[in-house]
Amino acid sequence: MDGVRKTFDKWAQNGRAELMEEEHGENVSKFLQTVSFDKAFTFLDVGCGNGWVVRKIAKEEKCKKAIGIDKSKKMILEAIKKTSVGNEKFIHTDIETWEYRGKFDFIFSMESLYYADSIEIALEKIYKILKPGGQFFCGTDFYTDNKATARWASIMKIQMHLHSKKEWKKFFQNAGFLIKTKHIKDLKNTKKWKREYGTLFIIGTKPKK
């Protein structure tokens, strides 16, 4: 079993899943408030953890379907336990190997893409399963410009790909996305990495044909 899967299986059982929701909830909520969910839509969360973002989005009036995927089986079991609305679904898989035939209006990923074996392959797959005009929102606190989080990889001792904002933008451009970026800071937070640097969101739009 790979280190990432092992770590998140452990986190699913020791309360760290809820801690992640607590730690990222403020900035993710602020970001999602900037997204217009005014037409019927489908939504995918890549690396959904205990499913907190999926549950939040599934309650949106226009949400037809919200799916969460995670390579940690125990995270998915936690997510299924907490399922609250009929349009939620959770699947134990990783994005690179997932066989999915449909396409989504919105795909979201918070603090998970840098764990992928290959960011390029993961982005290629995400691009493929997005509808033309659809958007992928990728949030990360772990990037070289955020000096306070760069040491995470040595603490975690698992595969984490550290890149700069400029490199992240290049990954998205190479995959075919039109990109914008947004920084969301949590100014009242006691943690420097949240207060001063904040979460980097890369917003990739798949061009319409």
Range of the domain at 57: 3-22+39-205
Residue type at position 184: I
**What pLDDT, on the 0 to 100 scale, is given for residue 1?**
46
- 32 occurs within a structural domain: no
Residue 115 has what DSSP assignment?
G
- 27 occurs within a structural domain: no
Low-confidence ranges of the chain (pLDDT < 50): 1
The domain that holds 90 is classified in CATH as: 3.40.50.150
Residue 10: how many CB atoms within 10 A of its CB?
12
- 118 occurs within a structural domain: yes
- 30 occurs within a structural domain: no
**What pLDDT, on the 0 to 100 scale, is given for residue 5?**
77
**What pLDDT, on the 0 to 100 scale, is given for residue 111?**
87
**What pLDDT, on the 0 to 100 scale, is given for residue 104?**
98
- Over the stretch 59-84, which tens digit does the pLDDT of each residue have? 999 999 999 999 999 999 999 998 87
Determine which helix (DSSP H) or strand (DSSP E) holds 23, and give its type and residue range: helix 16-32
- 160 occurs within a structural domain: yes
- 98 occurs within a structural domain: yes
Closest CA to 137 of 12, 40, 27, 35: 35
**What pLDDT, on the 0 to 100 scale, is given for residue 145?**
83
**What pLDDT, on the 0 to 100 scale, is given for residue 40?**
97
C-alpha span between 102 and 2 (Å, rounded): 28
**Total domain count for the chain?**
1
- 33 occurs within a structural domain: no
Which residues are 201's β-sheet partners?
139, 182
C-alpha span between 51 and 57 (Å, rounded): 10
- Over the stretch 191-206, which tens digit does the pLDDT of each residue have? 665 656 678 999 999 9
**What pLDDT, on the 0 to 100 scale, is given for residue 124?**
96
- 171 occurs within a structural domain: yes
C-alpha span between 17 and 10 (Å, rounded): 9
Residue type at position 135: Q
